[in-house]
Each structure stands twice: as C-alpha cells, then as structure tokens.
Amino acid sequence: MPANLNNPMVVQSDKSVLLEVDNPFYPEARDALARFAELEKSPEHIHTYRLSPLSLWNAAASGLSAEAILNALTRYSKYDVPGNIQADVRDYVSRFGRLKLRRDPTGGLVLTSEDAILMLEISRQRKVKQFIVEQIDERTVRVNPAMRGHVKKALVDVGYPAEDLAGYVEGAGLAFHLLPAMRRTALPFNLRHYQREAIETFHAGGAARGGSGVIVLPCGAGKTMVGMGAMAKLQTNTLVLTTNTVAVRQWIDELLDKTSISTDEIGEYTGDVKEIRPVTITTYQILTYHKRGKRDENGAETDFDDLERITPLSEEHFPHFKLFSERDWGLIVYDEVHLLPAPVFRMTAELQARRRLGLTATLVREDGREDDVFALIGPKKFDVPWKDLERQGWIATAHCHEVRLSMTPERRMTYALADDREQYHVAATDPAKLAVVEKLIARHPADQVLVIGTYLDQLDQVAARLDAPLLTGKTPVKERRQLYQQMREGALKRLVVSKVANFAVDLPDVSVAVEISGTFGSRQEEAQRLGRILRPKSDSRPAHFYAIVMRDTKDQIFGAKRQMFLTEQGYKYEILYEDDLADYNPDHDRATW
C-alpha cells in the first residue's frame, strides 16, 4: 500500500534504491542515503543506490544504528520498505562488532564473541582458522598477534567484521602544539568546527575504539589540518605517507606554518632526500620502489598484480619498507588513502598496533579494494556532504558543465575502425576539443584556469595553442613548485597539467578547470580534479568545472561514469552543446541559459 507518493525514493527488494532527482525532497534524501548506501548509476532523472554489506558496516562503525537507517528509508520512500530489506539492514549492521579483538592479560591477542555458536562457525572458516593459535573457551580463541591485520581482513571476507579493541602502542613522544597564528601571514589560525569534530571522532578520547579509521572530506576542506590536529592530540612520532614529492613539501610547509614543530624535527624521505626524524613525510612511490617495477608518468607502480604474489613481503623486495620500523611511530597518516598501493596494504596489515589515520575526498577505489581500507586502515569515522560545506562557505560554490561535441565524418570513421580500447583514445583526443578550450577560456578573461588532461601529446598541443606552461610527471619538482607559486601570486593565468596535478595542488584563487581527457571512468579522479578549484576564493566568486566529451562515443560514456561520485555529493552537470557556446555566459545561473 502506498506510503507517500510525494516522496522521492523507491526501496526495492534486491537492495537497490531508486531516487527521483526532480523531487523537492531529493537533496535531503540524497544526503541521508550517502551515509549508508553506494551510488551505482546517475542518469538524468533516476539515480540508483545499493545497500551493500560494506556500506552498512561503515555506517555502523560511524555510529549509525540499523533503526536510524530504516527510519531514513521509511521517511523518504514512496512505498513500504520491503521486509527482507529491513531484515538485511538489521542483520548486516548487527554483524559489525559481534566479534571483538582484545588484548589478554599476557599481552596476547584474542578474538571473542558473546555468541558461542558464531565463534564455532567463524573458527572453522578456512580463511580464519589459519590464524588461530588455540581455543581458550567456547567464546574465545587466541590468534597470532603478528597477524592482527590479516585476521581482520579474513573476518571481513567471511562477513563478520571485528571491532578492534586491542589498543595501540603510544609511540615515542613528541611535544608540540598548534599555533594561534600562522607564521607566514601572522593571521589567526583555528581549526574549523568540522575539523575539530573529525579529530575528536578519530581520537575517541584515547580509548581503544579510537585511533584507526578514515576521515572523508572534500578537497579544499583542510584534510591536512585534520591530520595535524590528530598529531597534536596524540603528541607522538608520526609517519605521513602521501602521493608525491610536491605533497611532501606542502605537508612540511603546513607543519612549519601552523605548529610549534621545528625544522629539525621534520624529515623528508623522498628520491632527493632521506631524512628520518620525529615527523617524517614520504611518498607511496618511495615505499613501493623495487628494482624491476614499472611506473607510469607520475612514478606510480603499474604492476602490482605481480607484487601481490611476492611472499614474504620484505625489505629485500622493497628496501624502503625499513622506514616503518626506523622509529617508534605512534601514528601513521595515509594521505589520499583511496590511492594506497597494494604492497603498502600488505605492510599495513603488519602495523595494526600503530594508530592509523586515512585522509581522502572519496572512499571510491577503482580497484574495488574498499574492504581492504576498511579492514586494514579502519572504517569510515567521519564525513560531511560536500554541499553542506559549500553552503557554510568552507569550500567554493562550484558549477559543473559537460560540453558535448560532435565528431567530423572523417574522425567518426577513424573511431569506427579502431579496436575497442583504442576507440576511447581516438575520442578523448579529438582535435575539436582544442577550439572549445579556447572558447571557454575566453568566457573567463579574469579567471585563472587549469586545463587538465591525461594524454601528453594532446596536452602538448593545448599548451602550444594557449601559449601556456605544461606541467607533467616529467617536470622537475622545483619547476612544479615555481609554476604553482606563480599561479598563487597571480603572475600566471593559464596552466596545462597532466594527471600528476590531480593531487596536492594548493592554488586557492584558481576558479576554472577544463578537463579535456580523463582516465577512463575514474570517479576518484573526477573528484580530485574538481577539488583543485574548490578552495574558497578571496572575492567569493564561484568555481566552474568543464568536462569536454565527444558525443555518442566511449568518451561520453566514461565521462558519465567519472561524474557519479560528484553526483552523489549533490553536483549536477549542466549539458552544453557546440551551438550553446556562442551565447553561453558563465555568470548566469541555470535558469538563464
């Protein structure tokens, strides 16, 4: 029987949830769903979400109860929530924490449950059984303490994620505090309310329930500040892992600007410098360095499948893994945790006694290993809808546009004759995009603009046409920093960048990004690229993000996939065609163009 046909949601018995976009209750229903469901499809009018075990476990770990989830589904659903969905939500949410890892009085590691039958069932599972040392009683088994992470991963795999209450080593002490004013500008410095809340949620008063997990905040919302706040809370030696050398130096700059930590207490561990100090900052690329590895233009490993089969995982294969044991770390910060490479996952499984903080704009992983993040770094502890921060003025208002172009007959023939994989390259690098880039930039004469792409030949052409510098993975770090500084100072108005600039680019006044090609359907990449322009502008002007795609090709299909995460966050891509560009005015709102 209909509950309320004016509501925007239909909950289906296959665990999918359909959400009407053109409904006045859509924004609040979307924000509610994002806390416990995953967005699967986002065409114009109906978005499809799915209730998955992992999405429900993350919700449970963040404090959301089964009843709160069911109340949200009931509140926004047109029809009664199917009985099997109600049962499944209660079942999956209840599974989180029915098994607990604890320390016993001797310092060993035990797995416990109030449910003796569940313990019997779990202890007989092949994935778990290999880590059991002995059975203490019908509700308790002793497990290998060196395999704490492996046990947690195995329990996720069998569908009963454990709550880890075994605690952490404190690590070597490091006394410091956040400064009341920034050193560079002397302006006051205070953590924002949501940053403080994220830190408190992660720390949990120092209890065993705190100290491992992931904080999800949009680019430009100050994830680095959250990391520094967690460090200040714990007062311990800290190892920070991040994406590239530019990010390393940005972390160093922020620590020196906003904390009392001195220069000689901060170490850079990169290809150029090998310093190990109370706070040491390194890159995933350094940690995964091995002699036979292949790398893409960013220096990232590209043959992790082979590395996964290396057993045991040792310093013989990864010489820089020794960094994990060089000091008594009390905290390990994983910046951009959604990019965590496979070998570091495996090393993290051995580091469960250290507090672990993951920072990211999106938990989406294109390799599907979100469950590894959950098990080995920790569950999602805090997030906030991007649009909430936009409304509060913490990130810039952003207008997203997809510009659809038509191929010439000659190019269409080339596309039609190309093989399946080559078709995307043909469409993504269509020369027609170059003229459109110029037209869009002409609509923003006073703005600083990033042109972002994936294919270097295409970027070379754009840079030459715009007479703008080109920044790629081959650009020396010193030159990158100089270009970024010129953009910050306003001396440079246009910069063409490859995917190396998806991360760790701090350019507060850049307000326009034009994406001419992407990495297939990478949702995380789209989020990072929009994030380049989300820092609040000094004059409060909005940001504009343009994705240029070729109609009726894989370029358009992959573009739609890339947009899914941002759609979940409340962003809409307004569609523009070639004929629209002549009259297009970015200062007009949706109603006027």
pLDDT of residue 298: 43
User: What are the backbone dihedrals phi and psi of residue 336, each rounded to the nearest 5 degrees, phi first?
Assistant: 50, 55
Q: Which of 76, 95, 114 is the last residue of a domain?
A: 95
Residue 204: Cβ within 10 Å count: 14
d(CA 582, CA 572): 22
Q: Tell me whether residue 186 is in a domain.
A: no
Beta bridge partners of residue 371, listed in sequence order: none
Beta strands in 537-577 (DSSP E): 543-550, 573-577
Taking a C-beta distance cutoff of 8 angstroms, is the pair 198, 357 a contact?
no
Q: Which of 50, 79, 95 is the last residue of a domain?
A: 95
Q: What is the mean pLDDT of residues 124-152?
A: 93
Same domain membership, residue 206 and residue 335: yes
**Number of helices and strands (H, E) in the chain?**
24, 23
* Contacts with 474 (C-beta within 8 Å, 6 or more apart), sequence order: 297
Residue in the structure block whose two tokens are 């016993």:
104
Same domain membership, residue 261 and residue 226: yes
Q: Tell me whether residue 132 is in a domain.
A: yes
* Contacts with 73 (C-beta within 8 Å, 6 or more apart), sequence order: 9, 11, 17, 81, 85, 89
Digit-coded pLDDT (tens) for 455-492: 999 999 999 999 999 998 888 888 988 998 898 888 99
Same domain membership, residue 257 and residue 108: no
pTM: 0.83
User: What are the backbone dihedrals phi and psi of residue 102, each rounded to the nearest 5 degrees, phi first?
Assistant: -140, 160
Same domain membership, residue 463 and residue 580: yes
pLDDT of residue 505: 67
* Contacts with 592 (C-beta within 8 Å, 6 or more apart), sequence order: 585
Which residue in 11, 144, 155 sits closest to 73, CA to CA? 11
Q: Tell me whether residue 2 is in a domain.
A: no
pLDDT of residue 504: 59
pLDDT of residue 170: 92
Beta bridge partners of residue 269, listed in sequence order: 274, 282
Return the higher-pLDDT residue of 508 and 32. Answer: 32
Same domain membership, residue 407 and residue 333: no
Q: Are strands 238-242 and 279-283 parallel, antiparallel or unpaired?
A: parallel
d(CA 550, CA 257): 45
Q: Tell me whether residue 416 is in a domain.
A: yes
What's the CATH code of the domain at 543?
Answer: 3.40.50.300
Same domain membership, residue 285 and residue 334: yes
Q: How confident is the model at residue 588 (pLDDT cuts 50, 70, 90)?
A: low
Domain count of the fold of the chain = 4
Q: Are strands 398-405 and 510-515 parallel, antiparallel or unpaired?
A: unpaired
Digit-coded pLDDT (tens) for 522-546: 777 787 888 788 887 777 888 999 9
* Contacts with 482 (C-beta within 8 Å, 6 or more apart), sequence order: none
Taking a C-beta distance cutoff of 8 angstroms, is the pair 85, 51 a contact?
yes
Q: Which of 366, 384, 402 is the last residue of a domain?
A: 384
Residues in the chain: 593
Q: How confident is the model at residue 47 (pLDDT cuts 50, 70, 90)?
A: confident
Taking a C-beta distance cutoff of 8 angstroms, is the pair 201, 382 a contact?
yes
Amino acid, single-letter form, for residue 283: T
d(CA 570, CA 32): 12
Q: Tell me whether residue 169 is in a domain.
A: no
Q: Tell me whether residue 439 is in a domain.
A: yes
Q: How confident is the model at residue 515 (pLDDT cuts 50, 70, 90)?
A: very high
Residue 9: Cβ within 10 Å count: 27
What's the CATH code of the domain at 114?
Answer: 3.30.70
Q: Tell me whether residue 3 is in a domain.
A: no
Q: How confident is the model at residue 316 (pLDDT cuts 50, 70, 90)?
A: low
Buried b (16+ CB within 10 A) or exposed e, 488-517: eeeebbbbbbbbbbbbbbbbbbbbbbbbbb
pLDDT of residue 310: 40
Two tokens, residue 301? 């490993």
With a cut of 80, say whether residue 426 has pLDDT above it: yes
Same domain membership, residue 489 and residue 552: yes
Same domain membership, residue 473 and residue 564: yes
pLDDT of residue 396: 86
For the ranges 33-47, 234-248, 369-383, the lowest mean pLDDT is seen at 33-47
pLDDT of residue 193: 94
End-to-end C-alpha distance for the chain, whole angstroms: 41
Same domain membership, residue 568 and residue 507: yes
Instruction: Report the chain's mean pLDDT, rounded to a whole number.
Output: 87
Domain region containing 371: 193-384
d(CA 205, CA 474): 45
Q: Is the dihedral of CA 288, 290, 294, 297 positive or negative?
A: positive
Same domain membership, residue 36 and residue 107: no
With a cut of 50, say whether residue 401 has pLDDT above it: yes
Two tokens, residue 92? 């999956």
Same domain membership, residue 85 and residue 204: no
Residue 386: Cβ within 10 Å count: 30
Same domain membership, residue 578 and residue 454: yes
Taking a C-beta distance cutoff of 8 angstroms, is the pair 512, 544 a contact?
yes
d(CA 382, CA 215): 5
Task: Specify whether the backbone of 63 is left (phi greater than 0), alpha (psi in -120 to 50) or beta.
Answer: left
Taking a C-beta distance cutoff of 8 angstroms, is the pair 47, 21 a contact?
yes
d(CA 382, CA 483): 34
Beta bridge partners of residue 425, listed in sequence order: none
pLDDT of residue 366: 67
Q: Tell me whether residue 182 is in a domain.
A: no
For the ranges 119-133, 189-203, 576-590, the lowest mean pLDDT is seen at 576-590
